[in-house]
């Protein structure tokens, strides 16, 4: 037995901010990785006689995702600083988990779209990234729970 009998739930609750931050960091890293592979793919893949990367819509989508991932990374970095200082609270960690896991799903979806039909084939990492991203919004507390935690703090 670790700790005192009957205090397991309390111990678990004390570490939730760190767990949620860990999920957030993973979400950012995964979003970044799928974006990098999509950038490489769009530079090589040809459609209508030119690379997919040469289309303005592709460029806009890639730019939007890169900007959002950078912002999420800055926020998770700040949360990491707060954790190291012993100041990461549940609400801040919940915001990080909510935003980054939603972003991971969005990026995986957008990247799969840029791969076209190939992206829906299991052999391509983007397909696996798309499937794997969905669980992020569930474990560590569902994103709906994150919204409740955040809204309760706002309304208190």
Query: C-alpha distances in angstroms, 124 versus 45, 79, 118, 153?
Result: 14, 33, 7, 42
- The 3-state secondary structure of 84-139, one letter per residue: HCCCCCHHHHHHHHHHHHHHHHHHHHHHHHHHHHHHHCCCCHHHHHHHHHHHHHCC
The yes-or-no answer on residue 123 being catalytic is no
Q: Which of 19, 68, 110, 144 is catalytic?
A: 19
Q: How many CB atoms sit inside 10 A of residue 15's CB?
A: 10
Q: Which two tokens stand for residue 134?
A: 């969905």
- Report the catalytic residues: 19
């Amino acid at each position: 037995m670790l700790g005192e009998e009957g205090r397991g739930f309390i111990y678990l609750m004390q570490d939730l901010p760190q767990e949620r931050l860990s999920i957030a960091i993973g979400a950012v890293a995964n979003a970044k990785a799928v974006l990098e592979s999509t950038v490489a793919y769009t530079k090589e893949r040809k459609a209508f006689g030119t690379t997919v990367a040469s289309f303005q819509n592709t460029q806009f989508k890639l730019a939007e995702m890169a900007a959002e991932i950078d912002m999420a990374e800055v926020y998770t970095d700040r949360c990491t600083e707060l954790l190291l200082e012993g100041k990461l609270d549940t609400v801040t960690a919940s915001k990080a988990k909510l935003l980054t896991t939603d972003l991971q799903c969005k990026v995986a979806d957008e990247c799969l779209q840029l791969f076209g039909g190939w992206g829906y084939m299991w052999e391509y990492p983007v397909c696996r990234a798309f499937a794997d991203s969905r669980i992020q919004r569930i474990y560590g507390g569902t994103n709906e729970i994150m919204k409740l935690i955040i809204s309760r703090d706002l309304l208190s």
